Structure 1
Amino acid sequence: MDLPVMPPVRPMLAKSVKGVPAADSVEGGLSYEPKWDGFRAIVFRDGDDVVIASRSTKELGRYFPDVVQAVREQLPRRCVVDAEIVAVVGDRLDFDTLSQRIHPADSRVQQLAQQTPASLVVFDVLALGDESWLDRPLHQRRTALEDALGGVRSPVHLTRVTRDAEEAEQWFHQFEGAGLDGVIAKRLQDPYTPNGRTMLKVKHARTADVVVAGYRLHKTSTIEQPLLGSMLLGLYADDGRLQHVGVCASFGAARRAELITELDPLRVDSAEHPWGAWQDEAAHAEGRLPGGQSRWSGTKDLSFVPLAPERVAEVGYEHMEGVGDAARFRHTAQFKRWRPDREPSSCTYGQLEEVVRYDLAEVLGV
């Protein structure tokens, strides 16, 4: 492979802002795009040679042979593009389906590629032919990208863009129903800055009241000085089961020690706990209990200290993945405050905002 921009390259990043910024808030104006919920990927193609690199520059191609084939068939013979690999299930994006591709067995990867093929959404260009486009402004890169990818078809897509802040605001609310993550704003005059936080992102922010039903110790915890690492969170399903929906973390060192003391009176034997089955190997295999292993955790010790489900906390979150009482927080939740005024039994899925469904085909333009 011999391209004007060679791996490794870290993608340009974004910093969070509240609300869609006005188009005239920066000199030269802004371009807005949907924020896709998938695996960020820098794609390098030199003829039949294709490298798909993750945000951390790790190779993703072996997990997405279908995307590699689509790149060979549809992208310019010599190019480097910034994109997102996504999985479409029904009429929305599905991150769970996508994450299943990260599997050590090639046979399993090939099977999933046939059953639920992935798509590639392209939104920027770093190189075309023998020229690097890193130093050119976004508006020129976008024009070149439209010329180069004007005829692509599914599973390759060119992301939608607008320079109208009002339309971007509509996208922010509508497109979530198709599984998208928010809106990205980019300065039209900016060059491509690898690993630089020069873009702006607007993501959904919500709160929920959850039951704190356990905790894990921090990696620096000792017998002499135990420190809380993360709190395990639950919501009650319609049938009365307390479902594990995620964790909240990011406490300071002093607060980690205080929380151990604060929660110690709630410790119970695992046999008395709604998630006591975490010790059962079969329960681990299902991956729905907080003691379960996953492709991400490997052999990491995920044992936890069970607590009587009596404390309610308010946490901040962006959105849920999954449906019904199988839904859980997509990312680590943020602890806001204790809610002594709330009964644990009131912490149900019913309190969560229901996102209006939206046809993903409208977003992809197919």
Structure 2
Amino acid sequence: MQLPVMPPVRPMLAKSVPSIPPGASYEPKWDGFRSICFRDGDEVEFGSRNERPMTRYFPELVAAATAELPERCVVDGEIVIATDRGLDFEALQLRLHPAASRVRMLAEKTPASFIAFDLLALGDDDYTDRPFSERRAALVETLADAGPSIHVTPATTDLDTAQRWFHEFEGAGLDGVIAKPLDGPYLPDKRVMYKIKHARTADCVVAGYRVHKSGDDAVGSLLLGLYTADGDLASVGVIGAFPMATRRELFTELQPLVTTFEEHPWNWGAHVEPDVVRRYGGGSRWNAGKDLSFVPLRPERVVEVRYDHMEGQRFRHTAQFNRWRPDRDPRSCTYAQLDQPVTFRLGDIVPGLG
């Protein structure tokens, strides 16, 4: 492979801001695997944010790149799996499997798409020093005939349109808006873009904790639950960003609430069988071999957390501690308190997607 921009390349990053800034180019924030695609003839490589190749996990995108991209190019984008219900990050995560046979099976069952949003090189030309407005125009022109697996993300310079996208597109599984300076070059691993994500709060039941890796006298993370309409306590995620002094204080404070699994709604935790744990929503989506054991607590304490959005019945990302809610009845912590985004079709955002 001989390209003007060679792998590995760390993608350009975005920093969080509370509101959409004026005077920029705006795009939907796709919820998938960030990846830079390198194509030189029959050679194709998909890099990841941590510079590790992802090529072997997405054979269908290798074929798509050969068929739909220019002969020699470097394109920044996002790998997603689109369904008629929106983006499916869980299905995407399942693709990171060591068995090639399973990867091939999933590639046929749940094929991925590549959403392109920046052009780093074309032919013998390095585009990284050019302003984003020029890179964007070249990307649109270069990929005008791409598809059905490779798509160009929509973009606008109209702030009102970006505000509308921010609210509407969440219903398709997107999690915010990206703002890019029009005159900026491509700067690998630099946070020069801006991301605006949804921020919400929820009151959750603290149903258990995991011990901190430093020892058995500190809390590593708190396990959160919400009650379903049927009255069952479902696992929705964790919070774990605490100073060490707070971790030790929590460990002491929570001891009176420690109970047995026989008296706890999540008695699957006593066995920690990965398939059973995941079925009940308490498992690790990132590491199937991770120790998922926890200390069960009587579900009597309520905490208010910050989260961006839900994926199915769980928080998409790790929630953040906001404050304790001693005034709340744990039984009042239900799914009914959560915002429900208006359903939005992916095909209305990118024709042919989903």
- The answer to whether the Cα contact below 8 Å between 2:204 and 2:303 also exists between their aligned partners in 1 is yes
Q: C-alpha root-mean-square deviation of aligned residues, in Å?
A: 1.4
| SS of 2:169 mapped into structure 1 | helix
Provide structure 1 residue ranges, at least 5 long, that are not aligned to the other structure. 24-29
CA distance in 1, matches of 2:160, 2:25: 12
Matched, 1:334 2:328: no
Which residue of structure 2 aligns with residue 321 of structure 1?
Answer: 311
Contact 1:216 1:231 in 2 (8 A): yes
- CA–CA distance in structure 2, aligned partners of residues 43 and 283 of structure 1: 34
CA distance in 2, matches of 1:278, 1:284: 12
Select which of 46, 51, 71 maps to 1:57.
51
Do the aligned partners of 1:270 and 1:276 also contact (CA within 8 Å) in 2? yes
2:230 matched residue in structure 1: 239
* 1:344 paired to 2:330: yes
Equivalent position of 1:27 in the other structure: none
Indicate yes or no: 2:256 matched with 1:270.
Answer: no
> In the alignment, which of 232, 235, 246 is matched to residue 255 of structure 1?
246
Deviations 1:238-262 (CA, angstroms, capped at 9, x unpaired): 2211111100111011111111111
Would the aligned equivalents of 2:269 and 2:294 in 1 still touch at CA under 8 Å? Answer: no
Aligned to 1:194: 188
Q: How far apart are 1:285 and its partner, in Å? A: 3.8
Stretches (4+) displaced over 6 A:
none
Percent identical among aligned pairs is 57
Q: What is the letter of the counterpart of residue 2 of structure 1?
A: Q
**Match of residue 21 from structure 2:** 21
How high is the TM-score relative to the length of structure 1?
0.93
Is 1:213–1:234's contact at 8 Å kept on the other side of the alignment? yes
Distance 2:277 2:104 in 1: 22
Tell me the equivalent position of 2:120: 126
Tell me how far apart the structure 2 counterparts of residues 290 and 302 of structure 1 sit (CA, whole Å). Answer: 12
- The question of 1:38 aligning with 2:29 is answered no
Give the match's secondary structure for 1:364: coil
> Do the aligned residues in 1 keep the contact of 2:272 with 2:293 (CA within 8 Å)?
no
In 2: Cα distance, 1:259 partner to 1:10 partner: 38
Q: Which moved more, 1:258-267 or 1:193-202?
A: 258-267
- For residues 253 and 83 of structure 2, the distance between their equivalents in structure 1, rounded to whole angstroms, comes to 43
Q: Structure 1's 61 and 268: CA in aligned 2 closer, same or farther, altered over 3 A? A: same
Q: Which residue of 2 aligns with 1:151?
A: 145
Aligned partners of 1:133, 1:285: CA distance in 2, in Å?
49
Measure the CA separation in 2 of the matches of 1:165 and 1:319: 23
Which residue identity is paired with 2:54?
L
Structure 2 Cα separation of the partners of residues 73 and 63 of structure 1? 18
Asked whether the 8 Å contact 1:277–1:283 carries over to 2, the reply is no
How far did residue 146 of structure 1 move? 1.2
Aligned to 2:349, the other structure's residue is in SS state helix
Contact 1:92 1:359 in 2 (8 A): yes
Counterpart position of 2:8: 8
Decide whether the 8 Å contact of 2:272 with 2:292 is kept in 1: no
**Partners of 2:268 and 2:276 within 8 A in 1:** no
- The number of residue pairs the alignment matches comes to 352
Q: Distance in 1 between matches of 2:148 and 2:80?
A: 12
- Pick from 151, 176, 179 the counterpart of residue 185 of structure 1: 179
